[in-house]
Amino acid sequence: MASLYKKPIVVTDPKTGEKVKKKSRKWWGRYRDAMGREKRVPLAGDKAAAQAMLNDLVRRVELERAGRLDPFEEHLKRPFTEHIDEFEQHLKDKGNSAQHVFEVAARVRKIARGCKWKSISDISASEVQRYLGARRDKGLGRQTSNHYLRAIKQFSRWLVRDRRYHDDPLIHVAMLNVKVDRRHDRRALSDEEFALLVEAAMEGKRVVKISGPDRAIMYILSAWTGYRRSELGSLTKRSLRLDDDPPTITVAAAYSKRKRQDTQVLHRVVVERLREWLEDKRALAADALLFPVSAKIPGGVDRRTSKMMRADLKAARKKWIAAAKTPEEKAEREQSDFLKYQNDLGLFADFHSNRHTFITNLEHVGVTPGKAQSLARHCDIRLTMGVYTHIGLNDQKTAIELLPPPPVLRPSKKAPPSNGQAGGNGADPANGQVLHKQQLDALWAQLPEQVKTALLASVQVNPENGKGGQRS
């Protein structure tokens, strides 16, 4: 049965400084909810007012038991901003990074303000689409638009799961196809471009407060580990195990994008370069950041790594053009997009491109897609192969030339060769087959292991005679 009571509390006596027991100023109410669970809530200082409030609570319980009360009514009365604040706290409690929580909550707030929502019952799919459409008309990219939509859909799902609203009004709203509006797609650097980039960095002055040698080793580590800027920004001397077999480098789970401890094996030459670079870092403490370039890491500061890449690429390209031996060669180099920050296809070579270079080089040396996905630390192999792996025309040419040759075009039976021998024009099938096998052997030796595996899976080739077999 519902009842009022004064809650016992402990306070400090201002005269003696001792702890004493007293009764609360407010009346409290004790009652059972629709599920039979005991509830105790503060009400009012006036007993009559407190009794009236308790009676209202009991009446609501009776209506709920009778199925005549909307369980979401209280949430619908609350300001929209309160729900966003609690959603933001929910994201923090899940262990998301501070940056992620800030970005998601900020996007939800922008949409709510833009749509002028006051209550969660105001959420409308058509209003979200209209708001984002207007933003895109003013220059917002499709990818960024999808980030906003993803945030508000996450908020809408949370309202339902947290029993604040009866259904999700945004469940059917689909993401936009970003392939038709790519704003900042990246490319992988060629071996020659990367070598000239590192050389330019080593010879260059400070850019965004980062020395040339530091920039060079950052480029090398990114292109040989696939680590992102913030992951490199978390590294300390303790992250390096150069004397282990094999030598490794580790990013702590707190700073890895996928929230797992990521350990990458280091190439032996990368180890040598690191040892040389660390000679000048002896005074650096073991726990000090090697590359304080990301504010996501305590002690780090956001540095515009794209700006330093742009500066080093520009310097490398200038030197490369100046090294031309003839006016014709110089003119040709000036017309090319070699070492350009943005090439003729609109692809960028910013700092994250070094990760693209890492994954593309894995494909070039024949690493299987599964292993490449693991080394790239991707959850979806489509991201590894479709976005980060860049195959050039030369790679395609090598693969195409490895395919079995088409059959020899023989004359019709109605018009046999005058000498009565097949291939009287010198195109003897047997000799032709030997020639094709020699070509195949040479091309097969040049092909990356990954391409060999893919071709053998689709076309069975008999190594004894080189003839194309049945398709699997």
pLDDT tens figures, 140-192:
888 899 999 999 999 999 999 998 998 999 999 999 876 665 566 888 898 89
Structure token digits, residue 183 = 């704003």
The per-residue pLDDT for 430 is 42
Q: What percent of the chain has pLDDT over 70?
A: 75
Summarised one tens digit per residue, pLDDT across range 21-42 is 999 999 999 999 888 899 999 9
Q: Is the pLDDT of residue 46 over 80?
A: yes
Q: Cβ of 352: how many Cβ atoms within 10 Å?
A: 18
Angle between helices 353-364 and 212-225 (to 10 degrees): 40
Please tell me whether residues 60 and 122 are part of one structural domain.
Answer: no
* Helix and strand numbers, DSSP H then E, in the chain: 18, 8
Is residue 167 located within the same domain as residue 240? no
pLDDT at 359 over 60: yes
Q: Which two tokens stand for residue 242?
A: 């150069």
Mean pLDDT of the chain: 81
Residue-wise pLDDT tens digits, 56-92: 989 888 887 887 767 777 888 899 999 999 999 999 9
In terms of pLDDT, which residue wins out, 190 or 447?
A: 190
Q: Would 226 be classed as within a structural domain?
A: yes
Task: Please report the pLDDT score of residue 107 as a whole number.
Answer: 96
In this predicted structure, the answer to whether residue 377 has a pLDDT above a threshold of 90 is no
Phi, psi of 248 (to 5 degrees): -135, 165
- 200 and 329 inside one domain: yes
> 86 and 148 share a domain?
yes
* pLDDT 10s digits, 274-328: 999 999 999 999 999 999 998 888 888 888 988 999 999 999 999 999 999 999 9
Based on the fold, state whether residues 239 and 163 are members of the same structural domain: no
Domain limit, last residue, from 25, 42, 69 = 69
- Which DSSP letter does residue 186 get? B
Range of the structural domain that residue 116 is part of: 77-180
- The count of domains in the chain is 4
In this structure, are 61 and 94 located in the same domain?
A: no
User: Highest mean pLDDT range out of 114-118, 296-300, 367-371, 450-454?
Assistant: 114-118
Q: Which residues contact 312 (CB under 8 A, 6 or more apart)?
A: 197, 200, 201, 204, 207, 215, 219
Q: How many CB atoms lie within 10 A of CB 228?
A: 20
Q: Are residues 104 and 15 in the same domain?
A: no
Q: Please state the φ and ψ torsions of residue 93, each to the nearest 5 degrees.
A: -65, -25
Classify residue 371: in a domain, yes or no. no
333 lies in some domain: yes
Task: Tell me, yes or no, whether 460 and 436 share the same domain.
Answer: yes
Token digits of residue 23: 């009764």
Mean pLDDT of 131-144: 90
238: number of Cβ within 10 Å: 12
Residue 370 lies in a domain: no
Residues 176 and 199 in one domain: no
Burial of 321 by CB count in 10 Å (0-12 exposed, 13-18 middle, 19+ buried)? Answer: middle
Q: What CATH number corresponds to the domain at position 278?
A: 1.10.443
Asked if residue 213 is part of any domain, the answer here is yes
User: CATH no. for residue 81?
Assistant: 1.10.150.130
For 78-211, where are the alpha helices, taking DSSP H only?
80-93, 98-115, 125-137, 142-161, 191-203
| Residue 367 vs residue 440, higher pLDDT | 367
* Judgement on whether residues 110 and 130 belong to the same structural domain of the protein: yes
Contact 117, 169 (CB under 8 A): no
Question: In sequence order, what are the residues at sequence separation of 6 or more whose Cβ sits closer than 8 angstroms to the Cβ of residue 396?
Answer: none
| AA identity, residue 349 | A
Distance CA 77, CA 192 (A): 64
170-178's contacts with Cβ under 8 Å and 24+ in sequence apart are 170/123, 170/125, 170/128, 172/125, 173/125, 173/128, 173/129, 173/149, 175/146, 175/149, 175/150, 176/142, 176/145, 176/146, 176/149, 177/142, 178/142, 178/143, 178/146
Are 172 and 212 part of one and the same domain? Answer: no
